[in-house]
Structure 1
Amino acid sequence: NENNPDAYFLMGMDYKEMKDTARAIASFQKAVQYNQNFYDAYMQLGLLHSAQKKNIAPEYFDNAIRLDSSKSEAWYAKAKYYQDLGDDTKNKNSADVKSNYNEAKKTYRQLIIKNPQYQYAYFNLGFIYMQQDSIDKALRQFDIATKVSPQYAEAYYYRGLCEVMLGKKEEAESDFQQALNLKPEYSAAQKELDALMK
């Protein structure tokens, strides 16, 4: 059947699997052409364009959000798109970086309102604040991430890094130790802990 959106979606997934991005995108485009309410196809279009840093990506995530705003993945993918653009820019003080990071922070906050248990949103907010030298704010976000997800080794590690920058040596030591308890092969945490013990 020529206009079967599900068939186009499956074709798109096959092309994606084969790393044929152009054909995958064309197939997902057909799927949403025949079904404007095809959440998964919008998500795939967003992710594929995101990977290519195409500025149309957020529009596809917005379509997915419009169809189902309760799903965290679309909010997260949109925020991460802007965060990655900010991270990829060499000059961290440029207006572009600020506006991409601001868009990312705004979207992570919207995600947190929808799903307060989504630990990666807090973690990534913390990471952005670190990039922007707002260490106190970063610490607060990593702190929440460890409370929401007590097994989240990376959150303890990054909270430890903030504590080092703020001169809180004992707290940092305990966080690096906790990261290692959760993830014994975490070499970055071991390195930080060794440096503190010197």
Structure 2
Amino acid sequence: MKILEIKRILLFPIAVFCLMWLVACNEGQKQSNQNDGLEPALSQLNQGIAIDSTDHTLYFARGEWYYKQQEYELAINDLERAIDLDPNIPEYYHLLSDTYMDNYRSKEAMEVMVKAGDQFGERIPTLLKLSETQYILKQYEPSLFTVAKILTIDNEHPEAYFMMGLNFRALDEVEKAINAFQTATELNPELVDAWLILGKLFENRNNDLALQYYEAAINVNPDMPETWHSKAFFLQNNGRIEDAIEVYRQINTIDRYYMDAYLNAGILYLEIDSLQPAYEQFNIMINLKSQNFIGHYYRGIVNEAMGNIEAAKTDFQNTLNLKPDYAKAQIALKRLESEG
């Protein structure tokens, strides 16, 4: 009996250990099963949080991952948790505000940035973010107030003057806007958007200085199609058709998939009755992106002008196949069919 009792005493803790080991393995398997099929990055973050649920950097990283996947509610939960764990990191507030904004919750987006602005009142990137949020939500006077606060910290901050210009432009105080954008470019000549906006403001005044501003933008970033597009648009609006076409062709050497350059060049060729070059531009559009309904429509216009009526009908029909409610194509096709 004593020998049996000793065996029972020895076996009991062993049995308990085995049972605990099996339970742990089962829990681990459950965690593994939960992560099966997830993106590797997300799975790794989940595992990290399961190990240490107090690591704010992991919640921020997972919130950022959810944000990029447009899983906004999940992102908000994680970013708020990250802030609860460590409220002293401004970037957490910035991304949380962006997430609210992209989730059509602008009130919460603003509240987050106001809180961040109060908490990090001497940090210029946070104040710029607050000013930008106020500007987006058309709170122009508060945005200008925030800009003024930035300039008390650094009175030569180019992005602060850029934000000032945006607000004055929105308030239709054009002269003040121009002065602000000019100051921004003096402090930082690399601000492409400021050059482009200055060009547009002077173009609206029919002032040829606009072209110089557009060319300044091109000099800053010659690989950016939008800078060339602004110049080309100015040229075509001022009757310099051939110069504009040349710029549009230049754009497509930079970015062959920039559809607006083919479209605008084709339309300009039509205006000067250069039908074959116009056809080529619209044909390129279709070859690069067959679902581009506007390319089919304008190729139909060219085919009709060239007397290729059946080809024109096909182009107009293809336009309607892609966009059934496109009125111009409906009218054009009906007209050709009625003419027999």
Is the TM-score greater than 0.5? yes
Matches within 5 A, 1:18-167: 18-86=171-239, 100-167=240-307
Displacement, 1:35? 1.6
List gaps (5 residues or longer) in structure 2.
Answer: 1-150
TM score, norm. by length of structure 1: 0.88
SS in structure 2 of the partner of residue 164 of structure 1: helix
Q: Which amino acid aligns with 1:65?
A: I
- Number of equivalenced pairs: 185
| 1:44-103 per-position Cα deviation (integer Å, ceiling 9, x unaligned) | 1122223333211121121111111111100111101111222xxxxxxxxxxxxx1121
Q: Does 1:171 align with 2:311?
A: yes
Cα 1:109/1:8, change in 2 over 3 Å: same
Change in 2 beyond 3 A, CA 1:149/1:25 = farther
Letter of the 2:233 counterpart: K
Structure showing greater Rg: 2
How far does residue 184 in structure 1 lie from its aligned partner after superposition?
1.6
Matched, 1:5 2:145: no
- What CA deviation, in whole Å up to 9, does each residue of 1:101-136 have, x standing for no partner? 121011111111111111111111111110001111
Displacement of 1:15: 1.7
- Alignment RMSD (CA, Å): 1.4
Query: Is contact 1:28–1:45 with CA below 8 Å preserved after alignment?
Result: yes
| Cα contact 1:79–1:104 (8 A) shared by 2 | yes
Taking structure 1 as reference, are residues 60 and 146 closer, same or farther at Cα in structure 2, changes over 3 Å only? same
What letter matches 1:83 in structure 2? Q
Q: 1:117 to 1:18 in 2, by over 3 A?
A: same
Give me the whole-angstrom Cα distance separating, in 2, the residues matched to 1:46 and 1:151.
33
Q: CA deviation at 1:32?
A: 0.8
Residue 14, structure 1, aligned to residue 167, structure 2: yes
Between 1 and 2, higher relative CO (CA 8 Å, sep ≥ 6) is seen in: 1
TM-score using structure 2 length? 0.52
Do the aligned partners of 1:53 and 1:85 also contact (CA within 8 Å) in 2?
no
